[in-house]
Amino acid sequence: MIADPFAWVYAQLTALLLSLGMTAVWAQTTLRFLGAAVLATVLLVSTFFLIWGERKLLARFQDRLGPNRIGPWGVFQTVADFVKLIGKEIIVPTRADKAVYLLAPLLVVLSVVGIWAVVPLAPGVVGTDLEVGVLYIVAIGAVGTLGIMMAGWSSNNKYALIGAFRSVAQLVSYEVPMVLVLLVPVILASSMSLVGIVEAQAGMWFIVMAPVAALVYLVTSIAENGRAPFDLLEGESEIVAGFNIEYSALAFGMFFVAEFLHSFTIGAVVATLFLGGWRGPGAEAYPLLGFVYFLLKTLSIWFVIVWIRATLPRIRIDQMLGFSWKFLTPIALGILMLTALIDKLAAAAGWNRTLVLVLANVVAVVVILSFVQGYARLQRRRDQAPPVSVTATPVALH
Amino acid sequence: MLDQWVFIAFLLPVGLLLPAVAIAMGFLLGPRKPNPLKGDTYECGIETVGSTWIQFKAQYYVYALVFVVFDVEAVFLFPWAAAYNQLQLYMVLEGILFVAILAAGLIYAWRKGSLEWV
């Protein structure tokens, strides 16, 4: 029981349901439904504390105290905010497309909760071991962008529409490098299932074998989440509030629940794909320990995401698209070809797989940096070049 | 095979239902005092001019076209990557050739100026 509490609870519940006269199939289905309900509820409740944690961390980054009034260290601040939001009026604009307007926040939350179905939480504890898990993550993640597009469009507000258009621009740009670098862990594990990918990391975490791919994946998922520095869809200084301008009370709150839970979810996916998921010393013997490792890894990635938010300013939209298409996509294509080739050559020649892949990544980083350096030098030269005599012949501009 | 999807079939409706309950609670417990000004479109206090649902210029439509090409071809790469263990070297090289053609397409779009903000 202490060794494996998850299996123990499962066995107890199965025995209980069977003693109630259920067939084995029905008992299993009931437990799956129960598992889904518990998972979704725990996730949404944990959002209260994630929001508090993020506000507290941001406050510390900015040399403030942050919420500190309600409960010890202010932990119940978000609960109080939630209670306040319940008492506020949900305004549905008269000119809005009401059904779409109310459906949008639900879809955004659904897309984040849905990702957790395939993330292995501890050895043997996973919603479902989907054979196409990696593709499922990409697909369900895109539903969130659909929800934001629906919110912006149905509000019948020009600023909201511009915010929605920006979020689509972000999706179509960052989805390409994201899908391409997702192929790297799939190649290394020869499996698309997340359980299979965690199993393949028994010897070495993939972040050691593919650090460039891990970094590109982290950046693209932050962009898909629409967080700083990619939060153009709610650029307050430009488009009032962006896609959620017409929303109020809990309908508005749901977008934020989804956003804050999404950053934690990105942490979980990165931890699973690149940091070995629940792997750690003694995790296989004690699944509870595996869960603790998984949580620690997830929280450290989440901390990095909050750190990035506190550090970097918002970038301009043409820079954002250029960054994806002219920087991340070539890197993703290159690292994919490099990993596929080097890994097969290492296997054929009998070299140490990890060592060769680390070397290949170091070479890739050096090449990327020299390209960036060359580009910066070119840009500087262009800026410093003496202006062509425009004043003498203004007609010769064309 | 379909067995794998049962959990997702449960989780997605629950994920939809929980926020729906929260919003319904907001409708039940919150005040409801509509007036024409409150229900109007909010654009910084200025009255809105013209319709919003018009043809809108999306400056990035060229990116969207390139995206379709890339995303569809990336999906073809997933089975190749999932079977990587069983592949011979020449099969891996074929996959790399496929990615190289993709990269050539990106360079072509780049040279044509399709990746510029218009």
Choose among B39, B43, B103: nearest Cβ to A157: B43
| Closest C-alpha to A117, from A109, A105, A126, A108 | A126
Which of A201, A344, A219, A328 minimizes the C-alpha distance to A273? Answer: A201
Q: Give the contacts of B77 (CB within 8 A, at least 6 positions apart).
A: A183, B95, B98, B99
Task: Please state, in angstroms and rounded to a whole number, the distance separating the CA atoms of residues A90 and B30.
Answer: 7
Distance CA A377, CA A364 (A): 20
* Residue B112 CB partners (closer than 8 Å, separation 6+): none
- Report in angstroms the alpha-carbon separations of B112 from A345, B84, B98, B106: 36, 35, 21, 10
Count of positions (residues) in chain B: 118
Lookup result for tokens 């290159």 = A334
pLDDT at A166: 81
Residues of chain B with pLDDT under 70: 1, 58, 118
Q: Which of A127, A179, A190 is nearest residue B85 as measured by Cβ atoms?
A: A190
Judging contacts by C-beta atoms under 8 Å, the chain B residues touching residue A114 are: 8, 11-12, 15
Q: Which residue of B has its CA nearest to A37?
A: B14
Angle at A314 between CA A312 and CA A315, to 5 degrees: 110
Predicted local distance difference test score (pLDDT) of residue B68: 83
User: What is the rounded distance in angstroms from the CA atom of residue A398 to the CA atom of residue A385?
Assistant: 19
What residues form DSSP beta bridges with A125?
A122
Q: Which long-range contacts (CB under 8 A, 24 or more apart) does A62-69 make?
A: A62/A310
- Residue by residue, DSSP assigns A272-338 as HHHS-TT-STTTTT-HHHHHHHHHHHHHHHHHHHHHHHHHPPPPPHHHHHHIIIIIIHHHHHHHHHH
Q: Are A226 and A67 in contact (CB under 8 A)?
A: no
Contacts of B77 in chain A (CB under 8 A): 183
Question: Which chain A positions have a beta carbon within 8 Å of B11's beta carbon?
Answer: 36, 39-40, 113-114, 116-117, 127
Q: Is B117 part of the contact surface with chain A (CB cutoff 8 Å)?
A: yes
pLDDT at position A388: 61
* Three-state DSSP state, A20: coil
Q: Which of A35, A128, A192 sits opposite B78 (nearest CB)?
A: A192
Q: Which of residues 146-175 of A touch B (CB under 8 A)?
A: 153, 155-159, 161, 165, 168-169, 172-173, 175
Q: Is A114 on the interface with B (CB under 8 A)?
A: yes
The torsion angle over the Cα atoms of residues A303, A214, B76 and B111, rounded to 10 degrees, is 100
pLDDT of residue A305: 92
Helix, coil or strand: residue B89? helix
CB A188 within 8 A of CB A210: yes
The answer to whether A182 and A188 have CB atoms below 8 angstroms apart is: no
Dist CA A382 CA A376 (whole Å):
10
Give every CB contact of residue A10 below 8 A, 6+ residues apart in sequence: A31
Per-domain boundaries in chain A: 1-87, 93-376
Return the DSSP state at A392.
Answer: T
Q: Write the DSSP assignment of A214-246 as a string of letters.
A: HHHHHHHHHHHHT-TTS-GGG-HHHHTTGGGTT
Structure tokens at A111: 């897309």
Tell me if B52 and A102 make a contact (CB, 8 A cut-off).
no
The distance of B83 to chain A (nearest Cα, Å) reads 6
**Which A positions 28-47 lie with beta carbon below 8 A of chain B?**
29, 32-33, 35-37, 39-41, 44
Smallest Cβ–Cβ distance between B11 and the set A36, A157, A321 belongs to A36
B117/A340 touch (CB, cutoff 8 Å), yes or no: no
Rg of the Cα atoms in chain B: 25
Sorted by where each begins, the domain ranges of chain B are 2-111
ipTM of the complex model: 0.87
- Decide if B8 touches A, using CB distance below 8 A: yes
Amino acid at residue number A198: V
Q: What is the pLDDT of residue A366?
A: 92
A229 preceded by a cis bond (ω within 30 of 0): yes
Residue A388 sits at the chain B interface (C-beta within 8 Å): no
Say whether B78 and A186 touch across the interface (CB within 8 A): yes
User: Closest to A90 (Cβ–Cβ): which among B27, B41, B67?
Assistant: B27
List Cβ neighbours of A195 (8 Å cut-off, separation of 6 or more).
Answer: A120, A126, A129, A133
Q: Rounded to a whole number, what is the distance in Å from the CA of A11 to chain B's nearest CA?
A: 18
User: What is the rounded distance in angstroms from the CA atom of residue A171 to the CA atom of residue A179?
Assistant: 12
Q: Is the dihedral of CA A92, A96, A100, A101 positive or negative?
A: negative
Instruction: Report which of A93, A46, A89, A220 is spatially closest to residue B33, judged by C-alpha positions.
Output: A89
Provide the shortest C-alpha distance from residue A191 to chain B (in Å): 5
The H-or-E segment that residue B27 falls in is helix B6-29
Residue B8's Cα: distance from chain center in Å? 20
Give me the residues of B, 54-83, that contact A with CB < 8 A.
Answer: 56, 58, 60, 63-64, 66-67, 70-71, 74-75, 77-78, 81-83
Please answer yes or no on whether A109 and B18 come within 8 Å at the CB atom: yes
**B115 contacts chain A (CB < 8 A):** yes
Residue with the two structure tokens 């067939």: A23
Per residue of chain A (398 residues), what is the pLDDT tens digit? Answer: 666 777 788 888 888 888 887 787 888 888 888 888 888 899 888 998 899 999 999 999 989 988 888 888 888 888 888 888 888 888 888 888 888 988 999 999 999 999 998 888 888 778 788 888 888 998 898 888 888 888 888 888 888 888 888 888 888 888 889 999 999 999 988 888 888 888 888 888 888 888 999 999 999 999 888 787 887 777 666 777 778 888 888 888 888 888 899 999 999 999 999 988 888 887 777 888 888 899 999 999 999 999 998 898 888 888 888 888 888 999 999 999 998 888 888 888 888 888 888 888 899 899 999 998 998 898 888 888 766 655 555 554 44
Q: Top-level CATH class of B2-111?
A: mainly alpha
Q: Check residue A397 and give its pLDDT.
A: 46
pLDDT of residue A31: 83
Chain A residues touching residue B87 (CB < 8 angstroms) = 344
With an 8 Å Cβ cutoff, is B23 touching chain A? yes
Q: Answer yes or no: are the C-beta atoms of B63 and A172 closer than 8 Å.
A: yes
